Amino acid sequence: MSDPSSIFAPDGPLAAAIPGFRARPQQIEMARKIAEALRDNRVLVAEAGTGTGKTFAYLVPALLAGGKVILSTGTKTLQDQLYNRDLPTVRAALKVPVSIALLKGRANYVCSYHLERNARDGRFLSAQDAADLRAIGRFAQITQSGDKAECSDVREDSAAWIAATSTRDNCLGQDCPQVKDCFVLQARRNAMEADVVVVNHHLFFADVMLRDEGMGELLPACNAVIFDEAHQLPETASLFFGDSTSTAQVLELARDTRSETVAAARDCVAMIDESRTLEKAARDLRLVFGSEPVRLAAAQAAEKDGFAAQLEALERALAAFHAVLETQAERSEGLANCLRRSAELGERLARWRDPAEKALIRWVEVFSQSLALNATPLHVSEVFKRQLEGHPRAWIFTSATLAVGKEFGHYCRELGLAWLEPPPLTMVWGSPFDYAEQALLYAPGGMPDPNSPDYTEHVARIALPLIRAARGRAFVLCTSLRAMRRIHELILAGLQAGGDALPVLLQGEGSRTELLERFRRLGNAVLVASQSFWEGVDVPGDALSLVVIDKLPFAPPDDPVLAARVEHMQKQGLSPFIHHQLPRTVISMKQGAGRLIRSERDRGVLCICDPRMIDKSYGKVVWRSLPPMRRTRVEAEAVAFLEALPAPKQGG
């Protein structure tokens, strides 16, 4: 299919099958280019602005091309939407006999073995966890897929899911007594047989790694791969082509081993003792650092008092634990699996302490309850380029935010696409929305330098009159958790002082899904959030009319991964700022700004507080990459725009 125009036409199959369907010129042009890339096995990198309808633009040619297609998304939300709604809709409209399958990572499927074992052990942190595990048990009896997204009775972030699912580490594979009823294996079998398989980027790269290690292949060989939300790929690839060992993994191994020992080697008291010693060593390593989460280069961590000693103590505890486990491993499949995990953890720890691979960045990330020792590749371009040069197939990379202006150079370099022969095709399609009419970009004057100590106070002061004018209906997006908490505090106090009874929500007060549901339902809420709400969040309609962004989202200069990449690029004679930091910031800004206008009827104000967007020469690169909104520096104009909007519909 080289010309899909007739399918998108007013009298075409999509219009007949989908109420309210309207084709857009950008959508038809995009579908045409994707059809050509699929036909010629080309690489296409395409940015399509919000409202283009890019999902249908790639689904139509993908379903008509024949052959096997993998669709990879950045989020499970889009994955579920594609599989449950968009794919069946387009398939029915086109009347094509295409089989589809959904494949997620194993942590998304109930594991009957772990569910049964942990329910029997009955050790839970709370009565809610115990109740959740019982609900999962009932779900496991009736589900066809085992996909936890279908279990509406248990929250997605419930701790009980850890006890009811498996990990790559603790899965028993073919040795599992419940292997015949395994939901993961069933999902993989379905994926092998289907014409179109919907995965996510994490799963795609997990499979790439397994193929590279010669351990088989989760995803079947295919004729085309289409990446939606493709702006996330460089970050996801870095995660998977690197290595990470955490104290949480050590604690999980100790707990699993203790549980397996009670079940199959109850007489081995030494195993229980060694598991407790191992847990203490892992916790002591975490306690070397304070309570605040932090990211440190390996050299910085080494300077921390007690770090080297506790790391050695952990290695010794793991070796002693492994030695006892070796004497018991033959007594059950579970213990044999724990022995394998123990050996792998020991190897990873040793590798992190003595890295032979110079192209890895070694760093430590401290979380509230755990610590991770990470080794991240300096660049993923070589590994990723190898995938593209294998079996001839089409590769489509698409997102609403990939380009800086009209340029894709930074993106193509990061993923190794820049050195392909023939070079990738690149296209930008702007949004069909009338931004000049629908939106206003407000850059307040008189803002201090973003590093000044009272900067967050100024942001809150700028935000308050806008929030009042919008009657709530605002996202305040912050670049750090500390700024988020302070700005939330100031906005709450300011609204209370003025007698404004607007609900103010804070990221962390519930899961992301819960907060968004509350925000939509209330209709006049203010949500103060950080990075996790910058993308993949869709609030069309009146509930969101104002987005305030505190700063341009540059990665902190002391970030160990960024610092190493900056040094590497400087040695190559490249400008890290121009070739890496600025493009990443522009793409993040476009994501944050993209929360505001989600439909033809949406109207609102985007307020970017950071004075660097106006004062610095690179600021032009930022605002020229944003949608073509009207611009102002006058507060009264922004307030008037918001006050002229229809009053919000308030929920409960």
Tell whether the model's pLDDT for residue 439 goes beyond 60: yes
pLDDT value of position 651: 58
Predicted local confidence at residue 211, as pLDDT: 60
Residue 250: which pLDDT band, with cuts at 50, 70 and 90? very high
Q: pLDDT value at position 116?
A: 87
Is the full-model pTM beyond 0.75? Answer: yes
Mean pLDDT lowest for which of 34-43, 365-374, 375-384?
375-384
CA angle 257–260–265, rounded 5-degree value: 105
* Residues 91-117: tens digit of each pLDDT: 999 999 999 999 888 888 999 988 888
Asked whether residue 26 carries a pLDDT value surpassing 70, the answer given is yes
Q: What is the pLDDT of residue 1?
A: 53
SS3 for 124-184 is CCCHHHHHHHHHHHHHHHHCCCCEHHHCCCCCCCCCHHHHHCCCCCCCCHHHCCCHHHCHH
What is the length of the chain? 652
pLDDT digits (tens, 9 = 90+) for 160-209: 888 889 887 788 888 888 888 899 888 888 888 899 999 989 888 887 76
The DSSP bridge partners found for residue 376 are 361
Helix (H) or strand (E) holding 398: strand 394-399
Non-local CB neighbours of 451 within 8 Å, separated by 6+ positions: none
The answer to whether residue 325 scores a pLDDT higher than 60 is yes
Structural domains of the chain in order of their starting residue, each with its CATH number = 5-99+194-239+380-429 (3.40.50.300), 106-185 (no CATH), 243-377 (1.10.275), 435-643 (3.40.50.300)
Position 537 pLDDT exceeds 90: no
Q: Residue range 297-301: average pLDDT? A: 91
- Cα–Cα distance measured from residue 131 to residue 160, given in angstroms and rounded to the nearest whole number: 9
Closest to 34 measured CA to CA, from 9, 3, 7: 3
80 compared with 640, residue with greater pLDDT = 640
pLDDT at 604: 93
Given a contact cutoff of 8 angstroms between Cβ atoms, the answer to whether 310 and 318 are in contact is no
Element housing 435 (H / E): helix 435-438
Mean pLDDT score of the chain, rounded to an integer?
88
Instruction: Tell which residue, 370, 212, 214, has the closest CA to residue 283.
Output: 370
Query: What pLDDT score does 44 carry?
Result: 96
Percent of the chain with pLDDT over 70: 96
DSSP structural state of residue 407: B
pLDDT, mean of residues 573-602: 87
The predicted pLDDT at position 214 comes to 46
Q: Judge contact between 642 and 605, C-beta under 8 A.
A: yes
Residue 519, SS3 per DSSP: helix
CA dihedral sign of residues 332, 338, 339, 341 = positive
Residue 236 has pLDDT above 50, yes or no: yes
State yes or no: pLDDT of 385 exceeds 90.
no
The pLDDT assigned to 215 comes to 44
Rounded to the nearest 5 degrees, what angle is found at the Cα of 526, between the Cα atoms of 553 and 537?
Answer: 55
**pLDDT computed for residue 568 by the predictor:** 85
Quote the crossing angle between the two packed helices 87-94 and 54-64, to the nearest 10°.
Answer: 50
Compute the distance between CA of residue 197 and CA of residue 365 in angstroms, rounded to an integer. 34
Q: Which helix (H) or strand (E) holds 351?
A: helix 333-353
By 3-state DSSP, what share of the chain in percent is helix, strand and coil, each rounded to 5?
50, 15, 35
Phi then psi for residue 312, to 5 deg, are -65, -40
- With a cut of 80, say whether residue 124 has pLDDT above it: no
549: pLDDT strictly greater than 90: yes
pLDDT tops 70 at residue 296: yes
Give the Cα separation of 457 and 483 in Å (integer).
9
CA distances from 385 to 196, 233, 502 (A): 23, 13, 51
